[in-house]
Amino acid sequence: AALAAAFAIRAFGDVRAPALRWFSPLGWCGAMRPFAGDRWSLLTPFVTAAIILIVLAFRCQELRDFSAPAFSLPVPNLPRRGSVAGAAGLSRRLHQGAFAGWLVGLTAYALLLGSAIHLIGSSGFSSPAVRRVLAEYGSITHIDITAIGVAYIAIGMGATACGVSAILVMHGEEASGRVDALLTSGLSRTRWIASHLNWAFVGTGLLMLIAGAAGALAYSLSGDSAVGTGDFIAAAIRTL
């Protein structure tokens, strides 16, 4: 999450507000200009941040009770009667938190990309190297559409990670032995597996569709109309 936030801040700073790049460690890396200017003074933020984080880590190690969570958690609300009934209800209870987190993160990232796509197209991509790379993904004459396709590769990787995490939850339930109690209640293993795979596959597709719609919305609000909503949705579906 921290890496994704640093990347998003750096990306937004590059296309909208250059001052924001100083709030991201990835922005510090670019400002060092290692292949052009070698600005060694910009190592200072890295060294300072490393020292502060190391001191905080040792301080937390001294104070933390490792048998307790890192942060105090509120007493969870008991599920409403019937909300965890059946395989579908139980899988929803297990996956809904992680799915909501991925949904918020990928939607925010899609909104950021959608608002910046028109700036990518207007830049013209004077670099021949960049043009060659984009030509491998699509038509260089439709630079906006090609840029959308490339941008949604990153979103697709995030959605795939959500699907993988759903599979890992299913594996964890199996390894812990909790599934055995469910199977003795009359639930078939096929239904139990299907309830989790539903989140892994259908959930991944839903994330991509929502990200496509979010990108299209942000693009339309930016004032451009060269690319339609269907292009964003198509890019999201093709990434699957």
User: Got the DSSP string for 71-116?
Assistant: S--PPPPPPPTTTT-HHHHHHHHHHHHHHHHHHHHHHHHHHHHHHH
The CA distance from 109 to 118, in Å, is: 16
Asked whether residue 55 carries a pLDDT value surpassing 70, the answer given is: yes
pTM over 0.85? The answer is no
Q: Tell me which of 165-174, 180-189, 224-233 is least confident.
A: 224-233
Show Cβ contacts of residue 153 under 8 Å, excluding neighbours closer than 6 positions.
239
- Across the range 30-39, mean pLDDT stands at 72
pLDDT band at 82 (very low <50, low <70, confident <90, very high): low
What is the pLDDT averaged over residues 111-132? 64
In this prediction, residue 110 has a pLDDT band, given cuts at 50, 70 and 90, of confident
Give the residue with greater pLDDT, 183 vs 130: 183
3-state helix, strand, coil in the chain (%, to 5): 75, 0, 25
Confidence at residue 54, expressed as pLDDT on a 0 to 100 scale: 93
pLDDT of residue 207: 92
Return mean pLDDT, the chain. Answer: 77
Least confident of 60-69, 75-84, 165-174, 184-193: 75-84
Average pLDDT over residues 185-204: 87
b/e 147-178 (16+ beta carbons within 10 angstroms → b): bbbbbbebbbebbbebbebbeebbeebeeeee
Residue 63 has pLDDT above 80, yes or no: no
Helix (H, G, I), strand (E, B) or coil at 35: coil
DSSP symbol at 68: S
* Paired tokens of 200: 């892994």
Whole-number Cα distances in Å, 109 to 6, 83, 86, 208: 12, 31, 34, 12
Comparing 18-27, 30-39, 167-176, 228-237, the range with the smallest average pLDDT is: 30-39
**What is the model's pLDDT at position 175?**
86
Q: Which residue has the higher pLDDT, 36 or 78?
A: 36
**pLDDT of 18:** 76
More confident residue, 82 or 51: 51
Q: What is the mean pLDDT of residues 230-234?
A: 80
